[in-house]
Structure 1
Amino acid sequence: MGAGLKAYRMKKGVHARMADLVEIFTSGPDVIPASVDAQEAFWREWLATPRV
């Protein structure tokens, strides 16, 4: 998946795809830092959401 240097930018209701991989150390206007707790909360919500 990128030797630990990439992660999936996940969206509720959508399966993660290779096109959703992003560099984890990238900076820019579209990068929104999130705490580990916030990431885990989103992941749990994502798991509970039906995906297409």
Structure 2
Amino acid sequence: MLKKVSSNKETSTKTEEKQNLAQALRANLRRRKKVKKQNNNSLIENDKKL
């Protein structure tokens, strides 16, 4: 049996908070991945100079 979806304001606020948190985490991971790639590229460049 399907549960009735509650139209409770508190529930929707919690869901929204979870979505915001998940979005922030994904953005953070993208940034970290980008920085890691940049660091890796600069290390490769430094190796070429040696």
TM (norm. structure 1) is 0.32
Which has the higher Rg, Structure 1 or Structure 2? 2
Task: Return the structure number with greater strand share.
Answer: 1
TM (norm. structure 2) is 0.33
